[in-house]
Amino acid sequence: MEKLREKSEYEGNPVGLSKTTATAMANELDRHLSSFITLYNQYHKHHWMVEGPQFRDLHLFFEEHYTQIHEQYDAIAERLTVMGYCPTCHPAKQLELSYIAHEEEGVFRIREMLKKDMEDEKTIAVELRKSIKKAFEQEDFATKSLLEGILLKTEDRCHHIEHFLGEDGLSIGLIAKPDDIMEEDGEPAKGQNGKAKTTKKANA
């Protein structure tokens, strides 16, 4: 196919942003786009692989998250086109640009999957704040506003995962590692203060 223009070629924009500002913020947005797509795919994997007594809740929880992330990275890509740049679309290039790494192949414990998601959401939140500051400095207030809205929802997702990982729950024994609950000799595992944990081993 014949290209109309190269990926990195600046087309200009109709909203009065200078080329310097558009280029600087486009580079920021492209990194976020690739990272959000990486997290979107990871949440999809977790949506497919989750099992156990809390299957339905977590299945829908992961679906809610990847649906929201899809909307967010779509908005980021649209903003890139407003600025006069083509979003990075090739999976190999997205992998290079992403500042989070997709979980490796294989099946993991639900708790470990949730921890990975929470860490990645936290990383995204940190990077979004940097871009928001840069957008303000570049006087790109529309991008600043867009990223602030995305940041708020990112922090909200991270907080919700934290609740799932809370230790005070009826099903902690079903999603925690066995060693977290019982010692090898069948005695309750001891906490950091040396006292026995109160969580009991689930009946077989």
Report whether 97 contacts 8 (CB < 8 A): no
pLDDT mean across residues, the chain: 86
Q: Does residue 189 or residue 131 have the better pLDDT?
A: 131
User: How far apart are alpha carbons 152 and 154 in whole angstroms?
Assistant: 5
Q: Is the predicted pLDDT of residue 192 greater than 90, yes or no?
A: no
Structure tokens at 204: 């077989």
Q: Which of 128, 137, 143, 124 is nearest to 26 (CA)?
A: 143
User: How far apart are alpha carbons 38 and 16 in whole angstroms?
Assistant: 32
Report whether 127 contacts 97 (CB < 8 A): no
124-141 pLDDT tens trace: 999 999 999 999 999 999
User: How far apart are alpha carbons 26 and 10 in whole angstroms?
Assistant: 10
Percentage of the chain modeled with pLDDT above 70: 81
Report whether 97 contacts 88 (CB < 8 A): yes
Please report how the helices 55-82 and 19-49 are oriented relative to each other, as an axis angle in degrees rounded to 10: 160
89-110 pLDDT tens trace: 999 999 999 999 999 999 999 9
